[in-house]
Structure 1
Amino acid sequence: MFHVGKLEDLEIGEAIKLDQFNPPIAVIRGESGEVYAIDDTCTHAQASFCDGFVEGDTVECPLHMSVFCLKTGVPDNPPAIKAVNVYDVEIKDGEIYIEVDR
C-alpha cells in the first residue's frame, strides 16, 4: 500500500496528483466524501484529471468534457471511449492509502 497523506488534508472536490507513478495517479475526494484513485491522464487528450471538475462520483476532463466514473474509470460520453485504471483506496486511522502494483 502506498501512503498518500491525511484524509483531513484532502478537501471534497479536490485532487492530489502522484507524479511518481507512470502514468501519474489522481487521488480525488468526491462530493460524498469518498476517496478514489484513478490514472490521472484522460485517454482522449492527455489532460490531467487534477485540473478537471468533480461532480458526484465523476470527474470531467478539463479539455473536451468527457466524464469518467471515479468508481470504474469508464467514460460516460465521447470524445473519450477508453477507460482509465482505478486503484483500491483504504482509509486507516485518518490516513489515505492506495493499492498499486508498480
Structure 2
Amino acid sequence: MSRACALSDLDDGKPFAVEVDEVDVVLVRQGDAVHALRDECSHAELALSEGELTPKGIECWLHGSCFDLRTGAPSSPPATEPVEVFPIEIRDGEVHVDVTAATN
C-alpha cells in the first residue's frame, strides 16, 4: 500500500485524480467510504477523474459510460469492459492505495 493523499483532500462526491506508484488513480469519497479505480475509461481511454458522479457510478465525460465504484463494472454503454478497482486503507487520516492488487 502506498500513500495517495490526505483524506481531507477528498471532497464528498467529487472525483480526485492522483498518481500512485506511477499508476493514474481516481479516488471518490462518498460519506465514510472511499473508492479507488484506474483513472481511465475502458471505452475511450480518457480520465474518469474529469467526469462526474451519478447514481450509477462515475461517468466518463465524453460518451457517458458509467462505472460502478465498488466493482468497476460498466453500468451504462458504450463501455463493455470494467475498469480496475484498487483496495484502499485509511490510516491516521491518510488514504493508501494498493495498485498491485487490482481487481478486473
Q: Which bracket does the TM-score occupy, shorter chain normalised?
A: 0.7 to 0.9
Aligned length: 100
Q: Percent identity between the aligned chains?
A: 34
TM-score by length of 1: 0.86
- Is 1:52 the equivalent of 2:68? no
2:74/2:80 contact within 8 Å kept = yes
- Where in structure 2 are the equivalents of 1:32-47 lying within 5 Å? 32-47=31-46
> TM-score, length-normalised on structure 2?
0.85
If each structure's strand is expressed as a fraction of its own residues, which one has the higher value? 2
Deviation at 1:6, TM superposition (A): 1.2
Aligned residue type for 1:15: P
* Unaligned 5+ runs, structure 1: none
Structure 2 match to 1:21: 22
Q: Kindly report which structure 2 residues correspond to 1:1-102, keeping only aligned pairs within 5 A, or say none.
A: 1-19=1-19, 21-22=22-23, 24-30=24-30, 32-56=31-55, 58-101=57-100
Where does the alignment leave 5 or more consecutive residues of structure 2 unmatched?
Answer: none
3-state secondary structure, aligned to 2:49:
helix
Structure 1 runs (4+) greater than 4 angstroms displaced: none
- The Cα shift of 1:56 comes to 4.7
Is the 2:56–2:75 contact (alpha carbons within 8 Å) kept by the matching residues of 1? no
Matched-pair contact (CA < 8 Å) for 2:48–2:59: yes
